[in-house]
Amino acid sequence: MPKKKTGARKKAENRREREKQIRASRANIDLAKHPCNASMECDKCQRRQKNRAFCYFCNSVQKLPICAQCGKTKCMMKSSDCVIKHAGVYSTGLAMVGAICDFCEAWVCHGRKCLSTHACTCPLADAECIECERSVWDHGGRIFACSFCHDFLCEDDQFEHQASCQVLEAETFKC
C-alpha cells in the first residue's frame, strides 16, 4: 500500500500547483496592466498620459520614473540584480534609470534583467492604433487591445471601435 500523505506534503504540492498556475498566467497579462503602459500624471502640466520618460505635452522630464519592465520606482539593492553598484544606498529618480525603451518611450531601470529583456518583450513594440493609425510616439494616451479582434487601439478610439466591432449573438441583445 502507498504511504499516506502528510499535511506538509499536501501543502507543498498545493503550493507547487499554485506557483505553476501563476507562472503560466504571467504571459497572459492584460495590456493595460503592463508597467510600460501604466497611467501617470506629469509633474509640471498635471496632464494624465501613458508612462513615458518625457511628458508628451510639455516635454519635461519626470521626477519619479517608473521602470517599464518591473514597475519599480526605487532600487533597494536587495536583489543584487543591479548593473550599477550602489552599496547601502537606495537609488530613486534618474539615479535608478538605465535606459529608455525605443518602442514605448518609457524608462527602464538599471536592473540586469530589465535592461536585457524589456526591449525584446515590450508589448508596445508594434503598437499602432488600427483606427487612427498613430503609434505610441504620436499621441499621449495609453494603448489598449480590442476585446473582440485583439488589435491595438489608442485611448481616444477605444470605446468607439469596440462598439462597432462587437457582434450580437441573438435577439436578446447579449454580446
Cα–Cα distance for residue pair 126/104, rounded to 1 Å? 9
Query: Are residues 108 and 39 part of one domain?
Result: yes
Using the 3D structure, point to which of 89, 108, 125 is the last residue of a domain.
Answer: 125
Is residue 1 a part of any domain in this protein? no
Is residue 31 a part of any domain in this protein? yes
- Cell numbers standing for residue 154: 489608442
- Match 498635471 to its residue by C-alpha cell: 46
Query: Are residues 62 and 143 part of one domain?
Result: no
pLDDT of the chain, 175 residues: tens digit per residue: 567 777 888 888 888 888 888 777 666 677 778 888 888 898 899 988 888 888 888 989 888 888 888 888 888 766 667 888 777 788 888 888 888 888 888 899 888 888 888 878 888 888 888 888 888 888 878 888 887 888 888 888 888 887 787 776 666 666 5
Query: Are residues 135 and 49 part of one domain?
Result: no
Which CA distances in Å does 61 have to 82, 90, 100, 113, 163?
23, 21, 12, 24, 36
Model's pTM, two decimal places? Answer: 0.68
Query: Are residues 56 and 104 part of one domain?
Result: yes
Query: Are residues 50 and 89 part of one domain?
Result: yes
Is residue 52 a part of any domain in this protein? yes
Domain range enclosing 160: 127-174
Number of domains in the chain: 2
